[in-house]
């Protein structure tokens, strides 16, 4: 596959900003795709913040070259999630406090926030509290009067779908501008990509791919399915219709 097509898939996942929900499973892990998106954002010159809760910083950074690693701002909640060591650089309130702090930024530079993982947060916080924080941070660039001063925000949330019931998964799904459900067959991974654009019907496509050791994508020629209108189960039929 050509580099242009690889970047096209990553671009499409990041294009809408807001919450990009990566739904994985035990069989089809999503951290590699999360890291591919982090790499893409860093190479585009965006501020990239990693809220690391589930694996060590060393494990997350593994596979990135020094240029990419130098561009990442890593917030380590894996070793000390409750800030018992009371380090000055830590956010009060843990990962949720970090999310809320990022809601107050006024920087015009686009920012990407990677949550590794949403499942870790969802198992420790009320679903409504987490959803409110995600909505606030992922929509801050679209607030009236603020659009000219705050850059685009993308929140990349890794969700281990098998750990949660349909209620929390549905709530997070309804917040997402872009939703990626990972799957596959006989060793070949696929991404079912659902995009929700304002005042348009959602569209979906399926892309078959593999991820290289440096977190570049290798897309499979001839296996992608073009975007199609999508009947979203979380949106009533009238709400999903095109604007008149």
- Alpha-carbon distance of 205 to 72, in angstroms, equals 30
pLDDT classification of 236: cutoffs 50, 70, 90: very low
Mean pLDDT of 42-63: 95
Beta bridge partners of 116: 52
The class (CATH top level) of 3-229 is alpha beta
- Cβ atoms of 101 and 91 within 8 Å: the answer is yes
Model confidence, pTM: 0.84
Separation of CA 37 from chain center = 8
Instruction: Name the average pLDDT for the chain.
Output: 83
Which tens digits make up the pLDDT trace of 181-213?
999 987 789 999 999 988 889 999 999 999 999
Which tens digits make up the pLDDT trace of 121-157?
999 999 999 999 999 988 765 554 444 566 888 999 9
In the chain, the percentage of residues whose pLDDT exceeds 90 is: 55
- Alpha-carbon distance of 223 to 186, in angstroms, equals 14
């Amino acid at each position: 596959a050509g580099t242009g097509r690889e970047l096209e898939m990553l671009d499409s996942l990041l294009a809408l900003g807001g919450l990009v929900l990566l739904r994985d499973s035990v069989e089809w892990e999503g951290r590699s795709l999360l890291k591919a998106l982090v790499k893409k954002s860093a190479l585009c010159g965006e501020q990239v913040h990693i809220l690391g809760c589930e694996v060590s910083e060393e494990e997350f950074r593994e596979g990135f070259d020094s240029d990419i690693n130098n561009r990442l701002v890593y917030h380590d909640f894996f070793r000390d999630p409750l800030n018992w060591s009371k380090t000055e650089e830590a956010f009060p309130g843990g990962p949720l406090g970090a999310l809320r702090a990022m809601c107050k930024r006024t920087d015009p530079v686009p920012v990407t926030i990677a949550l590794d993982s949403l499942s870790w947060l969802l198992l420790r916080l009320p679903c409504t509290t987490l959803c409110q924080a995600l909505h606030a941070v992922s929509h801050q660039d679209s607030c009236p009067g603020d659009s000219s001063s705050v850059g685009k925000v993308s929140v990349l949330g890794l969700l281990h779908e098998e750990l949660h019931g349909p209620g929390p998964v549905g709530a997070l799904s309804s917040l997402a501008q872009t939703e990626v459900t990972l799957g596959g067959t006989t060793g070949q991974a696929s991404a079912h990509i659902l995009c929700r654009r304002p005042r348009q019907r959602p569209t979906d496509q399926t892309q078959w791919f593999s991820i290289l050791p440096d977190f570049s994508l290798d897309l499979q020629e001839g296996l992608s399915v073009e975007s199609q209108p999508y009947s979203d189960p979380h949106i009533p039929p009238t709400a999903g219709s095109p604007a008149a």
